[in-house]
Amino acid sequence: MKKLAVVAIGGNAVNRPGEEATAENMMKNLAETAHFLVSMLDEYDIVITHGNGPQVGNLLVQQELAKHVIPPFPLDVNDAQTQGSLGYMIALTLGNELRKRSMEREITAVVTQIIVDKNDPGFQKPSKPVGPFYSKEEAEKLQQEKGWIMKEDAGRGWRRVVPSPIPLDIVEKNVIRTLVEKDVIVIAAGGGGIPVIQENGTLRGVEAVIDKDRASALLAKEIDADILIILTGVEKVYINYNKPDQKALDHLTVEEAKKYLAEGQFPSGSMGPKIEAAIDFVTSTGRECLITDMAVLDKALKGLTGTRITL
């Protein structure tokens, strides 16, 4: 039997840093992504998750500019919009890659709601970067003019940050399980899912963006995945990243990962949530997490590169 993998691709795999955020560029980038994902299918069944930080941030900018003409939507509805548009693009490019190889598989994108705690401290301390990068001067101006909370993002520039509560449960988990059992390639928990809270026996959307890696770890546990794969912009996890003494890590135990986290080696706006997601999945399941760059995914799956996190 094939192994089941949850594969988390970042929002920046859709829009590259510094690249114009056009539909054409997004489709081109996702076509490359589809090539690597389809190459996994001989050995793995896959459930795909994706980020939406750049895309939902761009949507917020558009709505800010047009707010005098059309009332802006709340953040949970924008999460849903980007989940739908990116789900469509991933399904389209993945389907085209399958056709190119004369492979037949059903693909579907599931609009996914994820339950969070309305008292989560993340609502008081926004930490999730969204939208484009700005210079320090631009960020200070936006902070003054619009009241946005701006933070420096891993040496790449300044970005708006929004609340990022911890995901607790997946509303559509049984649907996703059923589709996986039917051999369907599922795209789910896009952008970390749509954050909802339970209130008086009902669900209500809230203003936040859930981290997609944390949501991916939760989904991987819920569907009993054999491995969690987090694709990012670096081939391996580093300590002392971007410093003269930076060191690539081939393997991390959970205890080592916790130690480096406590030392501040993995910033909250970039590698931190990925390591936290890996710790969560590995600790809960005893299985492994692989963090690597999509371009070397085939080598990483053979154990030739990437960083593996295990007990």
> How far, CA to CA in Å, does 227 sit from each of 224, 241, 255, 309?
9, 25, 19, 10
pLDDT in single tens digits along all 311 residues of the chain: 899 999 999 866 787 777 888 999 999 999 999 999 999 999 999 999 998 888 888 898 899 899 899 998 989 999 999 999 999 999 999 999 999 999 999 999 999 999 999 999 999 988 888 877 889 998 899 888 878 898 887 677 898 888 889 999 999 999 999 999 999 999 999 999 999 999 999 999 998 989 999 999 999 999 999 999 999 989 999 999 989 999 999 999 999 999 999 999 998 768 999 999 999 999 999 999 999 999 999 999 999 999 999 99
Give catalytic status of residue 201 as yes or no. no
In Å, how far from its chain's centre is CA 85? 15
- Which residue among the candidates 11, 57, 131, 192 is catalytic per the annotation? 11
Q: What burial letters (b/e) apply to 41-74, b meaning 16+ CB within 10 Å?
A: beebbbbbbbbbbbbbbbbbbeeeeeeeeeeeee
Give catalytic status of residue 15 as yes or no. no
For residue 115, give the H/E element and its range: strand 113-115
Query: What pLDDT does residue 55 have?
Result: 87
Give catalytic status of residue 12 as yes or no. yes
Query: What pLDDT does residue 155 have?
Result: 73
Question: 244 lies in a domain?
Answer: no
Domain count, the chain: 1
Question: 285 lies in a domain?
Answer: no
| Residue 18 CB neighbours (<10 A) | 9
- Which residue among the candidates 52, 53, 78, 128 is catalytic per the annotation? 128
The domain of 31 spans 3-113+170-225
Question: 128 lies in a domain?
Answer: no
Question: 179 lies in a domain?
Answer: yes
Determine whether 121 is exposed, middle or buried from the number of CB atoms within 10 Å of its CB (0-12, 13-18, 19+): exposed
Query: What pLDDT does residue 11 have?
Result: 67
Residue 211, domain CATH: 3.40.1160.10
Residues 44-72: tens digit of each pLDDT: 999 999 988 888 888 988 998 998 999 98
Question: 258 lies in a domain?
Answer: no
Query: What pLDDT does residue 168 have?
Result: 97
The torsion angle over the Cα atoms of residues 24, 107, 129 and 124, rounded to 10 degrees, is: 150
Asked whether the CA dihedral 135, 141, 145, 147 is positive or negative, the reply is: positive
Question: 20 lies in a domain?
Answer: yes
Look-up of token digits 């580093």? 238
- Which residue among the candidates 3, 12, 205, 299 is catalytic per the annotation? 12
- Which residue among the candidates 173, 221, 236, 274 is catalytic per the annotation? 274
Report how far residue 212's alpha carbon sits from residue 192's, in angstroms, rounded to the nearest whole number. Answer: 4
Q: Are strands 185-187 and 44-50 parallel, antiparallel or unpaired?
A: parallel
- Which residue among the candidates 173, 212, 221, 236 is catalytic per the annotation? 212
Give catalytic status of residue 243 as yes or no. no
Give catalytic status of residue 274 as yes or no. yes
Question: 21 lies in a domain?
Answer: yes
Residues 267-303: tens digit of each pLDDT: 876 899 999 999 999 999 999 999 999 999 999 999 9
Question: 192 lies in a domain?
Answer: yes
